[in-house]
Amino acid sequence: MAAKTSSLPDPATPEQLGAYLKKSPKTLANWRSRGEGPRPRKVGHSVIYLRADVERWLDKQ
Protein backbone atom coordinates (compact mmCIF):
# COMPACT_ATOMS: atom_id res chain seq x y z
CA MET A 1 0.00 0.00 0.00
CA ALA A 2 1.42 3.37 -1.00
CA ALA A 3 2.29 5.85 1.71
CA LYS A 4 0.13 8.98 1.92
CA THR A 5 2.21 11.51 0.05
CA SER A 6 -0.63 13.70 -1.22
CA SER A 7 0.83 16.71 0.63
CA LEU A 8 4.13 16.28 -1.25
CA PRO A 9 4.40 18.38 -4.44
CA ASP A 10 4.98 16.42 -7.65
CA PRO A 11 7.74 16.88 -8.57
CA ALA A 12 9.37 17.86 -5.28
CA THR A 13 12.62 19.72 -4.70
CA PRO A 14 15.14 18.39 -2.17
CA GLU A 15 13.96 21.11 0.23
CA GLN A 16 10.31 20.05 -0.13
CA LEU A 17 11.10 16.35 0.20
CA GLY A 18 13.37 17.03 3.16
CA ALA A 19 10.57 18.91 4.94
CA TYR A 20 8.16 16.06 4.18
CA LEU A 21 10.56 13.37 5.45
CA LYS A 22 11.87 15.57 8.30
CA LYS A 23 15.38 15.28 6.88
CA SER A 24 17.72 18.06 5.82
CA PRO A 25 18.51 18.66 2.15
CA LYS A 26 22.12 17.81 3.09
CA THR A 27 20.97 14.35 4.23
CA LEU A 28 19.21 13.85 0.89
CA ALA A 29 22.42 14.94 -0.91
CA ASN A 30 24.38 12.38 1.12
CA TRP A 31 21.84 9.69 0.25
CA ARG A 32 22.09 10.60 -3.46
CA SER A 33 25.88 10.31 -3.38
CA ARG A 34 25.61 6.86 -1.77
CA GLY A 35 22.77 5.63 -3.99
CA GLU A 36 20.33 5.56 -1.07
CA GLY A 37 16.92 7.13 -0.56
CA PRO A 38 14.24 7.81 -3.16
CA ARG A 39 15.35 7.95 -6.79
CA PRO A 40 16.48 11.47 -7.71
CA ARG A 41 15.95 12.90 -11.18
CA LYS A 42 18.05 15.60 -12.84
CA VAL A 43 16.37 18.37 -14.83
CA GLY A 44 19.13 20.56 -16.17
CA HIS A 45 21.19 21.35 -13.07
CA SER A 46 18.29 20.79 -10.67
CA VAL A 47 17.44 17.67 -8.68
CA ILE A 48 13.78 16.69 -8.32
CA TYR A 49 11.91 13.75 -6.85
CA LEU A 50 8.76 12.30 -8.39
CA ARG A 51 5.98 11.38 -5.96
CA ALA A 52 5.73 7.86 -7.43
CA ASP A 53 9.46 7.27 -6.76
CA VAL A 54 9.11 8.54 -3.18
CA GLU A 55 6.07 6.30 -2.59
CA ARG A 56 7.93 3.27 -3.99
CA TRP A 57 10.89 3.99 -1.70
CA LEU A 58 8.66 4.50 1.35
CA ASP A 59 6.85 1.22 0.64
CA LYS A 60 10.22 -0.60 0.78
CA GLN A 61 11.13 0.87 4.19
Domain boundaries defined on the chain? 14-60
Write down the pTM of the prediction: 0.86
- One-letter amino acid identity for 11? P
Does residue 3 register a pLDDT over 70? no
pLDDT in tens, 45-60: 999 999 999 999 999 9
Q: Which residues contact 12 (CB under 8 A, 6 or more apart)?
A: 20, 48, 49, 50, 51, 54
Query: What is the radius of gyration, based on Cα positions, of the chain?
Result: 11
